[in-house]
């Protein structure tokens, strides 16, 4: 099975504690409040991931600092931006940068964890995928530049065995989506519809809370498929971040964003901001999730920027990350 031989000189990240992500694209101005506190969940102590997935290891475990574990984690100096990253942009709080393109015409297995702890991270790293919309480009994706509407319940309430959101029971699609096969392309590499890159987010501390806030979140400008026709930015993309945190008690996680956002903690959906809409807020009291203090749990963040002309991405948190994010196995961190 072939593997990507892309080498990234990632000098890794800040000591982050983050319990809340805000990602998105606004179709118009305004912020809507959907900030009901998260309810209690009964969470199974099972592994998340599997072949071909972005694997966080075993949920509820004690974690590992062994570089040979979980795809070969390596602690690196905390330097921002990493060498070779482009579109480095200072934002309202923090900064973002776009890493090298990940070839998506080969098959990869598993994941590689960036850094073996969260205390020497220059940023938080994941994967961003560029799409073209069918309404603008023939052969593009039909879920992009489509309808503007709230669309909660697109996914099921548990993460899939492959570490990806699972499309719900919608045989005729939903108000903003066209069915399972199209949805599955959002967070999987598919050379017929998307191009994948590494993405880095650098947080900033304010009032004791780690935050990232970009009111103009456009990491792919002039990259990938290029800027959207008739626009000054590259719209139409998804962001996927897999990391983990050590639960101590009392942490919070708040997210503000304005297209789809799905956040899973320990395999359970805790934030659902599905749909194409104005910026919305969801706050989670992590204590309500039935976790055990001192244990390490996976947190997975999936976002979609699906409509012009705004793009907001914000999170505020007090979580202590146990690593700096994960990228596909075969992307060599050195």
Q: What is the mean pLDDT of residues 258-271?
A: 97
pLDDT, residue 108, reads 45
pLDDT in tens, 300-330: 999 999 999 999 999 999 999 888 898 766 5
- Residue 161 pLDDT: 96
> Of the ranges 13-17, 121-125, 279-283, which one carries the lowest mean pLDDT score?
13-17
Is 1 inside a domain boundary? no
DSSP assigned state of 187 = T
Position 2 in a domain = no
Q: What pLDDT is stored for residue 55 in this prediction? A: 28
Whether 83 is in a domain gets the answer: yes
- Other CB atoms within 10 Å distance of the CB of residue 127: 23
- The answer on pLDDT for 181 being more than 90 is yes
pLDDT mean over 66-70? 34
pLDDT at 65: 31
Q: How many separate domains does the chain show?
A: 1
Whether residue 306 contacts residue 236, with contact meaning beta carbons closer than 8 Å, is answered with yes
- On whether residue 160 sits in a domain, the answer given is yes
Does residue 61 belong to any structural domain of this protein? yes
Q: Give the other-Cβ count within 10 Å of 171's Cβ.
A: 6
Of 126, 94, 144, the C-alpha closest to 8 is 126
Q: Is the pLDDT of residue 76 over 60?
A: no
The boundaries of the domain holding residue 30 are 7-333
Concatenating the DSSP letter of every residue in 151-162 gives -TTSB-SB--TT
pLDDT given for residue 78 in this prediction: 67
Q: Is there a domain that residue 52 lies in?
A: yes
Residues in the chain, total: 334
The structure tokens 């290029």 sit at: 226
CA pair distance 221, 223, nearest whole angstrom? 5
Q: What's the first-to-final CA gap in the chain, in angstroms?
A: 22
Q: Which H or E run includes 27?
A: none
């Amino acid at each position: 099975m072939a593997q990507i031989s892309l080498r990234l000189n990632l000098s890794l990240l800040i000591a982050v504690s983050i319990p809340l992500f805000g990602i998105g694209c606004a179709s118009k101005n305004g912020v809507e409040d959907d900030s009901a506190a998260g309810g209690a969940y009964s969470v199974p102590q099972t592994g998340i991931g599997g072949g071909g997935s972005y694997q966080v290891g075993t949920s509820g475990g004690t974690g590992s600092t062994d570089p040979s574990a979980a795809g070969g984690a390596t602690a690196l100096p905390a330097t921002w931006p990493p060498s070779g990253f482009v579109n480095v942009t200072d934002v309202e709080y923090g900064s973002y940068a776009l890493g090298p393109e990940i070839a998506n015409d080969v098959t990869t297995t598993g994941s590689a964890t960036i850094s073996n702890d969260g205390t020497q991270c220059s940023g938080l790293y994941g994967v961003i995928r560029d799409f073209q919309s069918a309404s603008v480009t023939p052969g593009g994706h039909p879920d992009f530049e489509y309808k503007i509407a709230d669309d909660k319940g697109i996914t099921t309430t548990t993460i899939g065995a492959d570490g990806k959101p699972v499309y719900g029971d919608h045989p005729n699609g939903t108000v903003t989506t066209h069915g399972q096969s199209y949805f599955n392309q959002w967070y999987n590499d598919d050379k017929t519809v998307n191009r994948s890159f590494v993405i880095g987010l650098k947080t900033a501390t304010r009032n004791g809370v780690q935050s990232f806030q970009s009111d103009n979140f456009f990491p792919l400008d002039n990259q990938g498929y290029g800027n959207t026709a008739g626009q000054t930015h590259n719209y139409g993309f998804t962001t996927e971040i897999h990391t983990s945190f050590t639960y101590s008690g009392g942490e919070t996680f708040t997210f503000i964003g304005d297209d789809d956002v799905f956040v899973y903690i320990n395999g359970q959906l805790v934030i659902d901001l599905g749909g194409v809409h104005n910026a919305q807020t969801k706050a989670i009291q992590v204590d309500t999730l039935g976790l055990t203090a001192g244990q390490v749990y996976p947190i997975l963040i999936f976002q979609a920027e699906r409509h012009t002309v705004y793009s907001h991405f914000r999170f505020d948190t007090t979580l202590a990350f146990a690593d700096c994010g994960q990228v596909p196995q075969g992307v060599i961190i050195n």
